[in-house]
Amino acid sequence: MKIYIAGKVTGDENYRKKFAVAAKTVEALGHIPLTSSCLPSGLTEADYMKVSLALIECADLVLFLPDYTRSEGAIVEWLWCQKTGQPWDFFANWVTVQEDDE
């Protein structure tokens, strides 16, 4: 499956690392990760949203990172999924949390 990863970018200094880790997780599960986090700086907010929504339309599923509720753009992406019927889920439902045995 092609899986779009949605989450907070603006205001998160470590967003590229966060999305890279999420993408590797999606790949490890045998899927193709899609994310707009690798776009260059300097585009308008509208440009970023247009690209993000196009990626969502190409995806089979959208996974929302835990911080998506703190992002206006990710909320738009969530609303897009609600209005269009695009399949979505929470990223946490797709990963196994490893508990420390110590």
Q: Is residue 65 situated within a structural domain?
A: yes
Q: Which range of residues forms the domain containing residue 38? A: 20-94
60, part of any domain: yes
Residue 7: inside a domain: no
The pLDDT, as a whole number, for residue 97 is 44
pLDDT at 99: 38
Percent of the residues in the chain that have a pLDDT greater than 90, as a whole number: 80
Instruction: Write the single-letter amino acid at 80.
Output: W
| Predicted structure pTM score | 0.89
pLDDT digit string, tens, across residues 33-53: 999 988 888 999 999 999 999
Q: Is residue 81 part of a domain?
A: yes
Residues in Cβ contact with 63 at an 8 Å cutoff, skipping those fewer than 6 apart: 3, 4, 5, 6, 22, 26, 88, 89, 90, 91, 94
Helix%, strand%, coil% for the chain, nearest 5 = 50, 15, 35
CA distance 21 to 26: 9
Q: Looking at the 3D structure of the chain, how many domains does it have?
A: 1
Q: For 45-69, what is the mean pLDDT?
A: 95
